[in-house]
Amino acid sequence: MAIEKLDVTKHNQQPFDMTYAEAVQIIKEAIQRSQAKTLHVMNSEVLSLYYGIGRYISENSRKGFWGTGALRQICDQLQKEMPGLKGFGETNLKDMRSFFEEWRPFINRQPVADELPLANYHHCNHLNNLTNSNQGAELAP
């Protein structure tokens, strides 16, 4: 992600005349802009990941490729291979499948978060809780 240059002249001050309070404000604003962009990108990636996982699970479980208990086995194996992984239990995987299946009629490709009108969608709170409680750590490559 590109970091914007701090424009110390935008406050009509020369760099050496700037007070520390002004410097702190400029730096703080740059940090806050970067944090907001990071959260947006992270949320987009998480929703895209959940949609893709939901599609994969739907295609395999609904067409009879996987039997009863498949999601439990997958979750157990994920936990063994990725100790400490959170947010990918059996219930969450089922929620991801539901998320995909409910949005599939409206989307012909894997979406990014800002393309989904999710304000009133019941999975949003669940996804936000996962994202906020885990802070995306388990999603890092």
Indicate the number of domains in the chain: 1
Q: Does residue 73 fall inside a structural domain?
A: yes
Angle between helices 123-134 and 90-103 (to 10 degrees): 130
Q: Kindly give, in sequence order, each residue whose CB lies less than 8 Å from that of residue 31, ignoring residues fewer than 6 positions away.
A: none
Q: Does residue 4 fall inside a structural domain?
A: no
Band of pLDDT at residue 112, cut at 50, 70 and 90: low
| pLDDT digits 0-9 by tens, 5-59 | 555 455 555 555 568 888 889 999 999 999 999 999 999 899 999 999 999 999 9
Whether residue 78 is predicted with pLDDT greater than 80 in this model: the reply is yes
Whether residue 1 is predicted with pLDDT greater than 50 in this model: the reply is no
Query: What are the tokens at 105?
Result: 């009629």
96 to 9, 69, 103: CA distances (angstroms): 48, 17, 11
pLDDT, mean of residues 75-99: 95
Q: What is the pLDDT of residue 126?
A: 52
35 to 28, 63, 66, 131, 132: CA distances (angstroms): 10, 42, 41, 15, 14
Q: Does residue 141 fall inside a structural domain?
A: no
Whether residue 117 is predicted with pLDDT greater than 90 in this model: the reply is no
Domain hosting residue 112, numbered range:
17-135
The residue assigned the tokens 């730096």 is 27
111 to 32, 41, 102, 114, 125: CA distances (angstroms): 26, 13, 13, 8, 18
Do 127 and 54 meet the contact criterion of CB atoms below 8 Å apart? no
pLDDT, mean of residues 61-73: 87
Q: Does residue 36 fall inside a structural domain?
A: yes
Q: Does residue 3 fall inside a structural domain?
A: no
